[in-house]
Structure 1
Amino acid sequence: MPENDLIQELRWRGLIHQVTDEQGLQKLLDSQPQTVYIGFDPTATSLHVGSMMQLMLLRRFQQAGHRPIALVGGATGMIGDPTGKSEERNLLSTEQLQRNIAGIETQMRRFLSFEGDNAAILLNNFDWMKGYSYLEFLRDVGKNFPVGVMMGKESVRARLGSEAGLSYTEFSYMLLQAYDFVHLCREHGCLIQAGGSDQWGNVTAGIDLARRMLGKQVFGMTAPLLTTSDGRKMGKTESGAVWLDRQRTSPYAFYQYWLNVGDEDVMRCIAYLTEIDREEYDSLAEVTASDPGRNTAQKRLAQWMTQFVHGEEGLNAALKASKTLFGGEIEAMDDAMLNEIFADVPSQELARDVLAGDGLWVVEALQQAGLAKSGGEARRTIKEGGAYINNQRVTDMDRRLGESDLASETVMVLRKGRKNYALLRFTP
């Protein structure tokens, strides 16, 4: 992407929510490669899909020739950003913060290039805040912060009016984040801060502080938050957040999340989060509008996102697991994967001993799984070719099931007809 096309690219993708001075920013970006930063809150050992908005924004700046700084908030994370929170968060210990930061750093390296002329920089604001005494910070930074301006920020007003109120600790968060911009401007020549639209108050505070402390004009821009058409934050499921860490959210669950995005949201997700070009985007939009039931855009989104975040291996695993639901071969799977694939499928527990000796009669297995109410019904199902063990049709009515018939360590997958699944779990 040529440098002078960046703003245009961000515009068509809908990624510009607010800019402090768009003409000035365009002129700055056109003049020479710039440095831009976005801060990331280390509240967990993994980032989630909401964080991808910011990671992809930094990536787009880098692809346009600019240098990205991914700033991990080791210091600000000790306080917690009050923005958008109805009550004060629990403070994290130093040890937990370090674990979180280490996990986040690993993920960021998959999105940004740390080599070349515009190599990304990964920084932690704890490195420059740890040596600051309270008195020095008040003298250098606090005196440049008008309290009236701070009180006027929406995030502060919202919390002051809430039942929980706002502690002095959280009130100070804005000073710390604003000083990050000053430090990065001074030490790295960074003139641009970006972030989510909920960070606008913090971004403009940093711009004002840089003007007061350095006498420099710096720029800020925000992108929309990743929300559904009715305003709910995306990246949440009944089981919790959709994480970028495969140990927290498997490639299969990750793939399924995007596959199930609604028609009213899918094109926005493609524009915000992927590098699918305008031509393909327009084609997918046309298909979605004319034939919404085909899920063409959802399949493309799920494929692109899973491959990008989890690699070719992760995508193949997700596709294989998805195929299993529709009668595909079940092999080389573990309990965790099967439990995830068949999370909504009824299951029964049996003693593992029943698989020893002569084993478990397949007719009884169908009954135990709840797929047949009687032995007669189970026999008819087998006779009519509608009984399956691990998606393999059962033709022998006298078949006995042993440990070799397990699909994973403890799970056997039974099916009646095309879609009626049940699991048997064999425990010691």
Structure 2
Amino acid sequence: MKLFEELQWRGLINDISSPEIEDMLNNKSITFYIGTDPTGDSLHIGHYSSFLIAKRLKDAGHHPILLVGGGTGLIGDPKPNTERPMITKEQLDHNYRKLRKQVEDIFGFEVVNNYDWMKDLNFIDYLRDYGKYFNLNYMLAKETVKSRMDIGITYTEFSYMILQALDFLHLFDNKNTVLQVGGQDQWGNITAGIELIRKKTGKEAFGFTMPLITKADGTKFGKSEGKAIWLDKNQTSSYELYQFLVNAEDEKVIDYLKKLTFLDRPTIEALEEKVKTEPFKREAQKVLAKEVVTYLHGEDEYDKALRITNALFKGNIQDLDKNELADAIRGFDTIQVKEGMDIVNCLVESNIASSKREAREFVSGNSIAINGIKVTDVEYNVNKEQCIINNYTIVKKGKRNYYVLELI
């Protein structure tokens, strides 16, 4: 299976600007780029598929460039329903440096910053050299602009399309970059760049987009309980990443395996069959979690995530060291309660039990464990001396329900 066909099988092709792209990817060696604005100081799991596409192309003999938008990040790509908050130059520079290191460490891509060629651009040159090539009706027809017309869009955001097109032109002229790759929501900006190159140089450039990865309900993939799943293990621990992936929906796990791993077709199709015949084993989810955690953070971090998972499942949290406990705690929402409270009131105050009566039933029914030790006495007091790490106590209710209490 050639590269283009593999990308199609994996569901990674959404739009293409020209049929020539198939031959270009299969039989030539080209320079291409993928861009991201440094709105955060780490990539998140939603970026991961896009960057793996770039890695797939690199492994097939193409040269990837990551453009981090230190210039466009000062403007902000229009969101569908609201204007993005402005970020300071200092924060953007910090984010750029962090993203550059992250991408170089994980993927080994060349990284450029569009602030380098935008910072000296004056307004007159911008209008004369670039703005005159953009018809207003053409810009208004783009989906990113149309979606904002009812609630309004500022001129600043409206100009983002031209700035991204300028990026493509700059890389085309200076690095022989003939292809831009992006998510499907970037199609309007990519085609704007292709048009600018054609009008300015008379030459052809190309672009393709990939579908956005979603959950079964159509919402974006990449958040757990409202929190982004970051690729930086200091922001999202390997254990948290493992848990996020191992809990993937049966309906979507094969899609994720295709897009987020390098596993071959026979392996993925065998796992697909197991999802149908033995879904309770969650084998596909476990393989997905192993592949992604290992690729991003290494085998040691994967082993660590597995140790934490097994200890929590079996209730043996005392087997974990302090670093593992810290990662385990980060995987749960923290509930603050006053220290010295008896276990019954503590369970009610933390909403682990709905009433004192229910709390007593939990305790007398042997359903409550504090830091891995069963509590059967309703007079038991929860104190800082019992904390398993810092001021944190882990409460287990039943077989699998965990809560982290911060004693204050």
Alpha-carbon spacing, 1:133–1:379, altered in 2? closer, same or farther (3 Å): closer
SS in 2 for 1:350: coil
CA distance in structure 1 between the partners assigned to 2:363 and 2:148 by the alignment? 65
Q: Determine the C-alpha separation between the residues in 1 that align with 2:27 and 2:327.
A: 51
Give runs of aligned pairs for residues 190-201 of structure 1, distance below 5 A: 190-201=177-188
Match of residue 337 from structure 1: 327
1:98 is displaced (CA, Å) by 0.6
Task: Report percent identity of matched pairs.
Answer: 38
Match for 1:35 among 28, 31, 47?
31
Structure 2 counterpart of 1:269, one-letter code: Y
The one-letter amino acid paired with 1:19 is: I
- Report the residue type matching 1:277 in the other structure: D
CA distance in 2, matches of 1:11, 1:369: 52
* 2:278 match: 291
Conserved in 2, the CA contact under 8 Å of 1:350 and 1:424?
no
Matches within 5 A, 1:295-310: 295-310=282-297
Where in structure 2 are the equivalents of 1:13-412 lying within 5 Å? 13-22=10-19, 24-82=20-78, 84-113=79-108, 120-160=109-149, 162-163=150-151, 165-326=152-313, 327-330=315-318, 331-333=320-322, 336-343=326-333, 348-351=337-340, 390-391=371-372, 406-412=387-393
The answer to whether the 8 Å contact 1:348/1:423 transfers is: no
Judge conservation of contact 1:266–1:298 (CA < 8 Å) in 2.
yes
SS in 1 for 2:2: helix
Q: Structure 1's 139 and 332: CA in aligned 2 closer, same or farther, altered over 3 A?
A: same
Q: Which amino acid aligns with 2:156?
A: T
**Cross-structure match for 2:8:** 11
Q: Distance in 2 between matches of 1:420 and 1:365?
A: 17
- Distance in 2 (CA, whole Å) between partners of 1:416 and 1:343 is 15
**Alpha-carbon distance between aligned partners in 1 of 2:368 and 2:122, rounded to the nearest angstrom:** 72
TM-score w.r.t. length of structure 2: 0.87
Do the aligned residues in 2 keep the contact of 1:332 with 1:408 (CA within 8 Å)?
A: no
State the 1:408 CA deviation: 1.2
| Per-residue Cα deviation, 1:234-265 (whole angstroms, up to 9, x for no partner) | 11222421111223222222111111111111
Does the 8 A contact of 2:46 with 2:222 survive in 1?
yes
Please say if residues 369 and 423 of structure 1, whose CA atoms lie closer than 8 Å, have aligned partners that are also in contact: no
* Residue in structure 2 matched with residue 357 of structure 1 by the alignment: none
Which of the pair has more CA radius of gyration? 1
Quote the offset at 1:40 in angstroms.
0.5
Instruction: Give, in whole Å, the separation in 1 of the partners of 2:57 and 2:213.
Output: 19
> 2: distance between equivalents of 1:379 and 1:235?
37
TM-score by length of 1: 0.83
Report the equivalent of 1:117: none
Indicate the larger mover: 191-200 or 89-98: 89-98
Cα offsets for 1:370-415 (capped at 9, x unmatched)? 79979x9999778xxx87553357999xx99998854212234455
Measure the CA separation in 2 of the matches of 1:183 and 1:274.
32
Q: Describe the SS at the equivalent of 2:339.
A: strand
Deviates more, 1:85-94 or 1:195-204: 85-94
Q: How many residues were matched structurally?
A: 399
Does the CA contact (< 8 Å) of 2:44 and 2:228 recur in 1?
yes
List runs of 5+ in structure 2 lacking aligned partners: none
Letter in 2 for 1:72: V
| Whole-angstrom CA distance in 2 between matches of 1:42 and 1:20 | 27
For the residues of structure 2 that align with 1:176 and 1:415, how far apart are their CA atoms? 53
RMSD: 3.2
Local SS of the residue matching 2:177: coil
Contact 2:69-2:113 within 8 A present in 1 as well: yes
Give 1:318 shift. 1.7
8 Å Cα contact 1:367-1:373 kept in structure 2: no
In the aligned structure 2, how far is the partner of 1:288 from the partner of 1:13? Answer: 18
Aligned residues of 1:325 and 1:341 also touching (Cα < 8 A):
no
Contact 2:363 2:376 in 1 (8 A): no
1:76 and 1:379 map into 2 onto residues whose CA distance is 57
| Structure 1, 173-182 or 142-151: larger mean CA deviation | 142-151
Deviation at 1:89, TM superposition (A): 1.3
